[in-house]
Amino acid sequence: MTDQSTDGMDLGPGMGMEGTLLSVMGIVVKEAAPERIVATMPVKGNTQPYGLLHGGASCVLAESLGSIGSALHAAPYGKVAVGVDINATHHRAVRDGLVTGVATPIYLGRTTTSYEVVITDDRDKRVCTARITCQLIQAPPGS
């Protein structure tokens, strides 16, 4: 079943977004393939007490994009992706608008994947740079 938060995009088996953290945070996937994943997220509702985009929200966006790309890469091998490492550097503050994350692979293997995720603001200024590594494991029965 395809979820509304992906603008009608089918992300493959087991990749529904309804009721997930992505849906709660307003993340909308615009493009998804193992080679490139793009999504937007509103700043509003994802801020820390000072009114700035929460660094954890940037990490959620980054991990989501890297996980989606990894899952799309893993599917032909009968595997699923699970995050095992993420790091992020926050470059500048954002108070409003949308941020856009673009994930591109650093490494696409049979047991691990790594993605670089660049998050920018409405002015195309870099807000955050993250790296996520996923382990590809055998898909559980029924997935």
Q: 3-state class of 45 per DSSP?
A: coil
Three-state secondary structure readout of 50-85: CCCECHHHHHHHHHHHHHHHHHHHHHHHCEEEEEEE
For 133, the 3-state DSSP assignment is strand
User: 63 catalytic, yes or no?
Assistant: yes
Catalytic residue among 18, 35, 63, 116: 63
Torsion of CA 14, 5, 108, 127, to 10 degrees: -150
Catalytically active residues are 63
